[in-house]
Structures are given as C-alpha cells and as structure tokens.
Chain A
C-alpha cells in the first residue's frame, strides 16, 4: 500500500494505492465504465467491468484544472465492479473526469477512457448559479456551497447570511466555500448569497438547518366512548417549516393531517378505540416513534358541557346543560362548578349518573355571577373535561323571610323583643330595613297581651315541675308529648337559671311534627344551671308546656353554706344554715355532710341527704367546746365547707340564759309597740330613679333601656284582669300548699319566693339607715320584708330579727371555748340571720345603741312582715319535751307581734 500526497496551488489532493498480489500477469483495462451521479447526496456511483482483477486504481479529476483526486481499490460484484464516491462539493459545481485501471501487485493496466460528469459551469450555461439549492441538513453538520459566476462577470464574495466566507476556486467560474457546524435556521431557512465583484447579487441558495422530530408524551383518550383522540408533545423545534420540510405524523398508519404544526401539543383522532397506539413522526432528517396502550374505560375524558343555561332564584340557581354524546346518559359523572362573583372564585362539586343539571345553593340575592362547568368520570377518573363556556346571570332580588322572633318578659313587665339576624349580612347592595311591628291589641283580650303571658307563666309555674335533663352529645336532649294546640310547632327557650335581668335568652323553633330536639348552644358553660322551656306555637299566646333544668357539667359548689350557726337546745346542739345561692351551687345539691372538726381532721357525723334541709341537731355530746363543719355536695363533690364553734353548757345554766333572753324580747316588743303608737315612722321622700333593692325580685318600674316598651292604649281598662299586675302576695297565697316543693327551682327567684306588700314601693337610698333618720318618730315607717337572702354587707338599714349566735355574746353568755381558727366570715357573723328574719331598721339611733353591731337588737318602731320568723317550731329535730314550752312561748310571742301589723 502506498499513500502519496500532491499539493497543487489551491487544492490538497490525496492519492491512495492499494496493492493485492496474486500473480504477475498483466491485468485487463476496465471496460464499460459508467458514471451515475446523485446530485442530492452528492454521490457518484462508478461501475465497470474489470475482468479477473480485484484491485483498481480510480482517478477522479476536476476536468478543467486537471487535478488528480483519489485512487482506490474496488470490490468485484458479479463481474460488475461498482464503487461509490461522495463529493464534498455539490456535483454540479464543476465537471469531473473519471478513469479506472486494474492493478495486480505492482503491475497495472492502462487507464480506461476518460469519462466526464459535466458540471454546471460549462460555457454553455452562461447564467450565474449556486449549489446546492434548498438543502435540508442537520444542525452541526458542514455544508459546502459553490457559486458559478455569470459568464463575463467577476466573482466577488459568498456570504452565509450576511457573513462573507472564505472561498475555494473550483474552476474558471466556480467558487466554493464551506460552512461548518451550522446552527439552526430561521423559519424561511438560511440564505447564502453570491455576489459579483461589483457587489451585484448574482445568485443565492437557501439551506434549512434543523433537527429530526422528537415527540414525547403520547396519550390517547376518548370523549365519546367510541373513538380515540391521541395527543402528544411535539418536542423540540425542528426548525423545518414549509410543505416539504415540516414534520408529518401517522397514528396507527393513518396520516394525521389535522395535527397542528404551530402548537406545542398536537392531536390526532381514530374513529375506533384501538387499545394500542403507535405514532410515527417524520421529516427530511429522520423519524421517531411513540406508543401508548390502554383500555377505553380508563381513558374517558368528558367533553365540555354544551348549551349551559340557568334557572335563577334569589338564593340558588339551577344549572342545566346538555351532552352531545348519548353514551353519557349512563355514565357516572362528577362535575365541578366554578362560581365567580366579585373576582372571588369558588368551586362546588356535584356527582350523578348522566349529570346534566345541578342546583347551586348559597348564592346571594341580586348578585352577578359567572359560572362554568366541567366534568370527569367517577369510576376510573382519568382527567377533567374541558370547561364549558362561561354563563353569566344575576340572582333575583329576595324579600327575606320574617326574622325568627321571640319575646322575653322582664321582671318589671318590660317586654324584650329578640330576633335572629344572621341571614341578612349577605346583602351587599340591598338596603335592609327591619320594621318592627308590635301589636298590642288590648281591646281584644283574646289576642296578644304580655301581661297575660306573664300571668300565665306564673300559673304554669304551679302546674309544671321542672324536669332534670342531662347534657349529652353536645346538647340537652328534650322530648315531649305532642300537643294538639301546637299548630305552628314549638319553641324551646333556654337561659341561665340564675339570671335576674337582661338575660341572654336563646331559643329554637321546632316544627309541629317534631317532639324531641337537642338544645345546643356554643354558649353553654359548665357549672351554670339552665332553664329550658317548651312553648307551643299557635295563633294565640305561646303556651308553656314543659320545663327542664340541667347543667352542661356539674361542678362542686363554689361557696359553702351561708349563715352557719349553732345553738344549744337542751343538751343538744342544733346547727342551722342558709341556702347556697343558686349561682354558687354549680350543680344539683344532693345533701350536706356534717363533720366534727377536731382542728386537724374532720370526722363525718352525718350525711343529710335532703338538700332542702337547713338544720341538723347533734345529740349526746358532753359539755365542752365543739367545732362543726358543714359541706354541701353535688354529683361533682363537696364544697370547702363552713365551720361554726359552740361551747356546750350544762342544761341548768342554759335554761337560765334562755329565760333572760325571753324577758328581754318581751320588753323589746313592748317598747316597739309603744313607739309605734306614739311615734309613728315618717314616710321617706319619694325620689325619681331606680332605687330598687339590691336583689329585689320584683321591680315593676320599666327599664329605660328596654328594647320594646309596652304602651298601653288609652282605651285599655286597667281594671281588666288580664292587664292587672298580680300582687305577689296574692300569688303567694295561691301558692300555699299548691306549689311543688323545689328549692332548686330557679324561676322561684323570678316569680316566687318574694313577698311584696301591696303598698307603693318607696325609693330607697342604699344607706337608708342614715337617710331615714327623720323617720325615727314617724308612725308610718314601713318595714318591708321580701324574704330576700342578702349578705350581711348588703343589708343596709335592715337588721335580722334573731341572731342567736350574736345574742349569746350580747347577753354575756359564757363564751365558748376559744378556737384556734378564725371566726366565720363577716357574713357569718350575722350567724342567726335568716331570710325570714330581716328587719328594716329605720332608727339609726337604735343602731347606734346597738353598738353598731350588725346583729342589732335595736327596736324598730314599726314592723311590717308577712312572715314573722322565730325559731322554727315545726322543726323535726325539735326535742319533744322541753321544746313544748319553748314552742308555746314562741306562739304567744308570735301572736303578739302579728297583731302589730298595720
């Protein structure tokens, strides 16, 4: 083998010789040499008959310049020898001459005749030309262009775009240049310009530099449950455009002419779903295949709902649409409704078989909405379908329902009208005017009259004993018997049982067919007793049907029994205490535990399981000092306890002390009667304003802040029974014996357990003891006893009638054994005070005489009391024997004082 290189003035020429030695005979000259050019590929195919030779020298010369180009061996094929040669330059650039000879070792035949492939630079082609034309090549390849200058003109330059290139002269008129590593073309290709030496454009060529197709993400789905629609990503830009160079696609062999060339995603359809799909993408630079396979049921993507319409109302709208494929009728669909209003978008989801209408709730009246819908299949959800076109509508103007109204009668006969207003906040543009119409048709007593209602409430009180209800599952479960009069259902109302004024009342209206509900409120608090009332609704005044009481959660009492006192009776010790205020009970009282307090520990003496008990007698104790602790308890446990001390004396000394006390009391009453007869109380001035008692249960003065004032019409006959405020005394009289005993009854604080004299209530200053000084000598001084339990501090001018514990001290009785722990609280210092025993102290002088002590033994000059209270003669724990004497003396004393009542 030999390689020799010749360098001519412009061209680098390579000559290769391959020698194969067989024998030393002279090879024959190749015959029938033919040239077959492929201008597109710039390939020249040589064929010849070479006899027995297997080695040939081939010489390809650029004819005009007579240059040796290449000499190589060729293979024998069926006696016909053929060899392909690819030219760097386009074959048209200049003429080529070809000669072939056989070689046998160092021996060669003569060259064959010269065969010429004529170029386009022959003198007969006088026009300027450029090659190659409209070539499509891959990015990064090298391309050689040649320019054949028009006959008679001088060559100037070749420009690739606007870049002047280095050129090689191929022939007299032909010049070539090579652009290496070409970048991608623009849409219309890359221009190559050939110009004359006078800078006149001679000719040019366009080359398209791009990529073969590289699509991805082939996915096929069905919209109509029959056909297939396949989508794919076209992938990178091929930079090849135009009818001849663009990418063509076939899907399962079918041409996808509808595939959009200008979008990133292309789609193609097949009339029938075929589980396997093959996409082939082709352009002039290559092809690429993608496959996808799936069952039809897994690839259902519904079309966009068509013909969207709406039936609009104030608070909701019905949307209707149509499906253009019948197969959807039995297709379980899930649809999204996108709702836009005021640039705020929400999405609601609905589902159903063949869904084609939905009701969109919770719209706002008189509001603009834009709505659109899309759907997917419920089973084997694949993808959401396309959104429907938007549908705009405006909701109707709404006339709101009558507000949910309830009325509450305060203790001062003030009616409080309440309503629920939650729904009207949704009106943005509508002006909402709430017109309150309060009907008081007092001419017709059969109609609404709140005095009637109050009165009926009181009567119902006698008829209904509250049931207890236990809180569970987030509410108080209530059930009742159906009431025939409840034509428009029921109302269940509840409030804090201990509330006195401006109570937070909640209610719920119940349909007539329901006879049970769970009263629920986020305002329920543990340790608070709630009263729940059931009213029937009819055209008449609501009728109270049932009442319940309950705690959301029972707690231990927050305060111990008030006014715990001890009293020696014979050789026994009687412990007495007051009622724990309702608000402090924090649970249903179950009873009291009586402990003997040894200072360091408590020893349970008794369990008083009757929560109404107010006393307990400890028997059989020897003489000595004792300390007792009483603790009330609920289901949650017992309170911290109240403690009292006593020194038990011998029985003879006790009797002596008792006689002294009785005598003193008699003397006291005589003085009082004399004062009443000769120095009546001077009435206190009447003052404007609210001078109600601190916890007076009945305040008939209307509140200036009431929301609704009951206005009596002039025609109203105040003498009518229905409009008369029933004096509580009357009611109390009615209650005697009829009232169910229920000391835990909260409404008793409102309507009962109150005694009001039938005279006008006088305004009182809080420190009436001072202001009433002038009444010292007045025979009209009133003392009103209401039976209200108040603390010692709030008593003002009132003084208890009996203070046994204090009495013992004032009377100079032997002091009990000193206790290590402090005495009971100040309130407890009124030890013997009982609700029934308050006096209205009108004489500060006497208060001073009493040494300012709360348990005053001062002598009011006038006493009015409907319940005079002395030691309970009816106490079950009263000793049988000696108690008799005490009882008879008390009865006499009681009768004496009762006669003093004006």
Chain B
C-alpha cells in the first residue's frame, strides 16, 4: 500500500473545488444564473458492482481526462484571452494543475498496488480536447472543465476515504481464496 496521506488530498482538493467559483467570479457571471451542465469527461457509469480496482481505474481515468482538458484550457486561455494577465488567477491555475498531477500520481500508485500490474493509460479518444473557437464558448468550456474537476475531486475524496476498508476486504477475500486453494492441495 503506497503511502497516501488522505488529509493531504483533502487539502489539495479544496483548492481544486474552489477554482471554478473563482473562475466564475472573475468572469462576472451572476450567481443567480444557472449554467447548464455539459459533461466533458467520459467514463463508464458508476455502479455498486464495481470493485475497488474498477473504481480506482474509473477515478484515475476521469482525473486523467481532467488534466488533459485543463492543460488544453490553459493553453487556449493563454492564446485567446490572456497573455498579459499574471495575477492570482494564473498562479492559482498553476497550483490546480500541479495538485491535480499529484492526485493523479497517487491514484496511479493505488491502482498499481491494487492491481499489481502497470497502470494502463486510459484512452483520450473522443475527448473534445480542442474546445470551441468562440470566446464566450471557450470561457464556458473552461468553466465546465473546472466543474468537472470539482466533481471528480469530490469523487476522489469519496473513493479514497472508502478505500482502506475496501482494500482490507479485498485482501481478506484474496487470502481466504488462497487458503482454500492451499487446503485443497
């Protein structure tokens, strides 16, 4: 089991969660307006049937898509909208990216520890990675990326909090099977 400090994750993800609201405030989007959800991350639907490994893989895949989207969003934002702005938003955006990468690394380690094999990189095929061209839609796209990040960060928290007991059960189950097999022998 890798040394994963959940409290660190919680602290780090707080910033990821708040980033979209910061973006919203920056763009003068009134709080009383509702922005329709537009999912950008494509993963298999959640199910209670998923085992720990599948949950981790699903989480890891979603975070990986989030990072790809965020990288593209940052690039597009620099090209189309920024260039001169070197303020809090930029530094916070960089911090979000760094912490997302750390979260990805940790979930990858967890996945490897659970599966025992190398982590397969999820395919980004079909991901709307280029984004729109109209600036208002670009802003909405970036906003939605932050919303996705918000969603998957919360999912990561939930998943990681439930992980120790799950892995313990899994370990126990695996041990029982091995014991039965060895008894048969």
A156 shortest CB reach to chain B, Å? 9
Report yes or no: A200 in contact with B34, Cβ–Cβ below 8 A: yes
Considering the complex, give the chain A residue whose CB is closest to the CB of B134: A133
Q: Which residues of A contact B139 (CB under 8 A)?
A: 188, 191, 204, 206
Contact A262 B84 (CB under 8 A): yes
The answer to whether A614 has its CB under 8 Å from any CB of chain B is no
Q: How far is the CB of B140 from chain A (nearest CB, A)?
A: 8
Complex formed: what's the CA distance from A191 to B28 in Å?
7
CA distance A285 to B170 in the complex (A): 66
With A134-B134, A188-B139, A189-B135 already in contact, the answer to whether A261 and B33 are too (CB < 8 A) is no
Asked whether any CB of chain B lies closer than 8 Å to the CB of A246, the reply is yes
Q: Chain B residues near A159 (CB, 8 Å)?
A: 30
The answer, yes or no, to whether A786 is at the interface (CB within 8 Å) is no
Q: Which of B64-72, B75-83, B102-110 forms part of the interface with chain A?
A: B75-83
- A722 and B63 CA atoms in complex are apart in Å by 107
Please give, as numbers and ranges, the residues of chain B lying within 8 Å of A193 by CB-CB distance: 29-30, 33
Q: B85 an interface residue at 8 Å Cβ cutoff?
A: yes
Q: Mark A35-78, 1 if CB is under 8 A from B, else 0.
A: 00000000000000000000000000000000000000000000
CB distance B136 to A199 under 8 Å?
no
Distance of A262 Cα from B90 Cα, bound (Å): 15
Given known A159-B30, A162-B28, contact A200–B36 (CB-CB < 8 A): yes
9-residue interface stretch from A237-245, A268-276, A845-853 = A237-245
Chain B 24-66 interface mask (CB, 8 Å, partner A; 1/0): 0011111011111000000000000000000000000000000
Secondary structure at the B interface, as helix, strand, loop or mixed, is loop
Is residue B86 within 8 Å, beta carbon to beta carbon, of the partner chain?
Answer: yes
User: Which of A162, A189, A201, A242 contacts B79 (CB under 8 A)?
Assistant: A242
B142 vs chain A, min Cβ distance (A)? 10
Which of B26, B27, B139 gathers most chain A CB within 10 Å?
Answer: B27
Set of chain B residues within 8 Å of A859, measured between Cβ atoms: none
* Given A193-B29, A200-B33, A206:B135 Cβ within 8 A: yes
Complex Cα–Cα for A261 and B79 (A): 13
Cα A383 to Cα B27 in complex, Å, equals 45
Q: Which residues of A190-209 have CB atoms within 8 Å of chain B's CB atoms?
A: 191, 193, 195, 198-201, 203-206
Cβ B85 vs Cβ A162 within 8 A = no
B33→A203 contact, CB < 8 A? no
Instruction: Decide yes or no whether A161 CB sits under 8 A from chain B.
Output: yes
**Set of chain A residues within 8 Å of B34, measured between Cβ atoms:** 198-201
Q: Number of contact residues on B: which range applies?
A: 20 to 34
From A134, A188, A191, A204, name the one whose CB has the most chain B CB atoms within 10 angstroms. A188
Determine if A205 and B83 form an interchain contact, defined as CB atoms under 8 angstroms apart. Answer: no
Chain B nearest CB from A131 CB (Å) reads 11
User: CA–CA, A394 to B140, complex, Å?
Assistant: 60
Segment 253-268 of A: residues with Cβ below 8 Å from B: 261-262
In the complex, what distance in Å separates the CA atom of A134 from the CA atom of B30? 20
Q: Which residues of B contact A200 (CB under 8 A)?
A: 33-36
Q: Which residues of chain B are within 8 angstroms of A246 by Cβ–Cβ distance? A: 83-84
Residue contact B81 to A241, C-beta cutoff 8 Å: yes
Contact B136 A130 (CB under 8 A): yes
| CB-contact partner of B136 in A162, A187, A195, A203, under 8 A | A203
Whole-angstrom CA separation of A314 from B33 in the bound complex: 75
A201:B33 contact, CB within 8 angstroms: yes
Q: Could you say which residues of chain B place their CB within 8 Å of the CB of A243?
A: 79-80, 83
In the bound complex, CA of A159 to CA of B27 (Å): 12
Min CB distance B103 to A, Å, is 27
Q: Which residue of B lies closest to A159 (CB)?
A: B30
**A134 surroundings in chain B (CB, below 8 A):** 134-136
Say yes or no: B30 contacts A162, CB within 8 Å: yes
- Neighbour of A187 across the interface among B32, B82, B134, CB < 8 A: B82
Report yes or no: A187 in contact with B85, Cβ–Cβ below 8 A. Answer: yes
CB-contact partner of B82 in A130, A133, A188, A204, under 8 A: A188
* Residues in chain A near residue B82, CB distance under 8 A: 187-188, 241-242
Looking across the interface, which residue of chain A has its beta carbon closest to that of B77? A188
Rounded to whole Å, the gap between the CB of B184 and the closest CB of chain A is 63
A134 to B136, CA, bound (A): 8
Partner of B81, one of A133, A195, A204, A242: A242
Contacts of B84 in A (CB 8 A): 187, 241, 246, 261-262
Rounded to whole Å, the gap between the CB of A573 and the closest CB of chain B is 110
The residue in chain A whose Cβ has the minimal distance to the Cβ of B86 is: A262
Which residues from chain A contact B35 at a C-beta distance below 8 Å?
A: 200-201
* A198 CA to B79 CA, complexed, in Å: 34
Query: Please, which residues of chain A bring their CB within 8 A of the CB of B28?
Result: 161-162, 191
> Cα distance A601–B155 when bound, in Å?
127
Specify the chain B residue showing the minimal Cβ separation from A244.
Answer: B80
Q: Are A241 and B29 in contact (CB under 8 A)?
A: no
Q: How far, in whole Å, are A601 and B84 apart by their CA atoms in the complex? A: 101
Interchain CA distance A162-B30 in the complex, whole Å: 6
Give the CA-CA distance A201 to B32 in the complex, in Å. Answer: 10
Shortest distance between the CB of B150 and any CB in chain A (Å): 17
Kindly list chain A residues whose C-beta atoms are within 8 Å of the C-beta of B135.
133-134, 188-189, 206
Mask: chain B, 128-155; 1 = CB below 8 Å from A; 0 = not: 0000001110011000000000000000
Nearest-CB distance from A179 to chain B (Å)? 14
The docked-state distance in angstroms from the alpha carbon of A243 to that of B28 is 23
In the docked arrangement, what's the CA distance between A191 and B27, Å?
A: 7
Bound-state CA distance A159–B79 (Å) is 26
Taking a contact as CB atoms under 8 Å apart, the answer to whether A195 and B79 are in contact is no
A189-B134 CB under 8 A given contacts A200-B33, A206-B139, A262-B86:
no
Report the minimum CB–CB distance from B120 to chain A (whole Å).
37
Q: Give complex CA distance A772, B135 in Å.
A: 123
Cα(A191)–Cα(B84), bound, Å: 18
- Rounded to whole angstroms, the CA-CA distance of A559 and B28 in the bound complex is 101
A201, B28: Cα distance in complex, Å:
13
Q: How far is the CB of B80 from chain A (nearest CB, A)?
A: 5
Known: A161-B28, A162-B28. A191 touches B33 (CB 8 A): no
Q: Which residues of A contact B134 (CB under 8 A)?
A: 133-134
Contacts of A201 in B (CB 8 A): 29, 33-36
Within 8 A of B (CB), among A173-192: 187-189, 191
Contacts of B27 in A (CB 8 A): 188, 191
Instruction: Quote the shortest CB–CB distance from A149 to chain B (angstroms).
Output: 14
Which A residues are in CB contact (< 8 Å) with B81? 187-189, 241-242
Check A241 against B85 for contact (C-beta < 8 Å).
yes
CA distance A701 to B34 in the complex (A): 112
CB-defined contacts of B29 to chain A, threshold 8 Å: 162, 191, 193, 201
Give chain A residues whose Cβ lies under 8 Å from the Cβ of B79: 242-243
**In the bound complex, CA of A242 to CA of B133 (Å):** 13
Shortest CB distance A259–B (Å)? 12
Q: Bound complex: CA of A243 vs CA of B135, how far in Å?
A: 12
Question: Measuring CB to CB, which residues of chain A are less than 8 angstroms from any residue of chain B?
Answer: 130, 133-134, 159, 161-162, 187-189, 191, 193, 195, 198-201, 203-206, 241-244, 246, 261-262
Known: A133-B134, A243-B83, A262-B86; 4 extra A-B contacts, CB below 8 A, are A162-B29, A191-B28, A201-B34, A204-B140
Give me 30 A-to-B residue pairs in the complex whose CB atoms sit less than 8 angstroms apart, sorted by A's number.
Answer: A130-B136, A134-B135, A161-B28, A162-B29, A162-B30, A187-B84, A187-B85, A188-B26, A188-B135, A188-B139, A189-B135, A193-B29, A193-B30, A193-B33, A199-B33, A199-B34, A200-B33, A200-B36, A201-B35, A201-B36, A204-B136, A206-B139, A241-B83, A242-B80, A242-B81, A242-B82, A246-B83, A246-B84, A261-B84, A262-B86
Top 9 A-B pairs ranked by shortest CB distance? A206-B135, A188-B81, A187-B85, A204-B136, A161-B28, A241-B84, A200-B34, A162-B30, A201-B35
